[in-house]
Amino acid sequence: MNNFTEAELQRKNDIIAREVDVTDPWVVKYRTPMVDTHHAYGAFVATLHKGNEDEDEATRLFEFFAPTEEDAELVGHYIKFLLTRWYNKSYINSLNVLPVDLDPGVNTMFFGHMAHSWVYNRSSWQNQPFFPGRYPEPKKTFSSLLDLIDFIETGSDGVPNPRWVAYKEENNV
């Protein structure tokens, strides 16, 4: 079922087309937006940087390494988890008409793999630290994307989010 008007659907697809190659096999298979920026224009639920180590060092702001297919699959799982956490089934079904999940009210989460660690950022963050563990000195580093997501889904009391733990168990993440 689609809750969007034709104009809304076209606008959403135009936004997606600006930043995501919807023919990318990982985008198709996992619905993971693969982007080449650390601050996407579209309000994607989450994005994964596709790597820029081939770009000119003089012009790139940060160096990101290309993710693996397993990374794309994990971000796809995390997006599904976030959707079921935030939205009702009707709205989730309406998002399924799009190649990736896009919602104007979402605070997009960006994931990237830098030399020292996996990092993340949210579209609403305007001040340092731009990437947790990056400035001024790495305080916490994440050797895997799953370690980073587990950190995000752990409360300040150190207790993991039971819904995330259950989702991982149910989906073999």
Q: What is the mean pLDDT of each run of 10 residues along the chain (173 residues)?
A: 80 87 93 82 86 63 85 97 93 90 86 86 63 53 91 89 97 95
Q: Compute the 3-state secondary structure of the chain and give helix, strand, coil in percent, each to the nearest 5.
A: 35, 10, 50
Distance between CA 149 and CA 153 in Å, rounded?
6
Element (H, E) at 111: strand 109-113
Model pLDDT, residue 104? 81
Model pLDDT, residue 60? 57
3-state secondary structure of 21: coil
- Residues with Cβ < 8 Å from 132, sequence gap 6 or more? 119, 120, 139, 140
Distance between CA 47 and CA 134 in Å, rounded?
19
- Residues with Cβ < 8 Å from 24, sequence gap 6 or more? 34
Pairing label, strands 118-122, 109-113: antiparallel
Q: Lay out the sheet containing 34-35: strands in order across.
A: 34-35, 46-49, 109-113, 118-122
Model pLDDT, residue 13? 86
Contact 116, 148 (CB under 8 A): no
Model pLDDT, residue 108? 86
Domain locations along the chain: 6-171
Whole-prediction pTM: 0.85
Phi-psi region of 107 (alpha: psi -120 to 50; beta: other; left: phi over 0): beta
